[in-house]
Amino acid sequence: MNLERRRSSIEIIADMLRLGEAGKTEIMYSVNMSYFQLQKYLGFLLERELIDRVTLGNPSVTYRVTKKGLSLLRSIDGILETLELKEVEDT
């Protein structure tokens, strides 16, 4: 079954975690989200220690997925595969 639908928050979080390490602009364009959404999701992921804020210099900052974030990503991917909402080759 192929459902035409918007991405869920969980799928957006998984897309962000899949980037590994990226700056705000890269995340925003790669995950296809607004700046407002980006701020909301970054705050959510940082609070739960699923990503870390890495300062590379002034003002360069990136966000890096943590071990806890990778564990969550594996769980999400397993669920999406089970529900056939994710292509197996994306793994």
pLDDT of residue 1: 47
The torsion region of residue 84 among left (phi > 0), alpha (psi -120 to 50) and beta comes to: left
User: 9-86: which CATH number, 1.10.150.570, 3.40.710.10, 1.10.8.60, 1.10.10.10?
Assistant: 1.10.10.10
**Contact (Cβ atoms closer than 8 angstroms) between residue 84 and residue 1:** yes
Write out 48-84 in H/E/C secondary structure.
CCCEEEEECCCCCEEEEECHHHHHHHHHHHHHHHHCC
The SS3 call for residue 6 is coil
pLDDT of residue 58: 75
For each successive 10 residues of the chain (91 residues), what is the average pLDDT? 70 95 94 95 97 86 96 93 68 44
pLDDT of residue 63: 96
Domain boundaries, the chain: 9-86
pLDDT of residue 84: 78
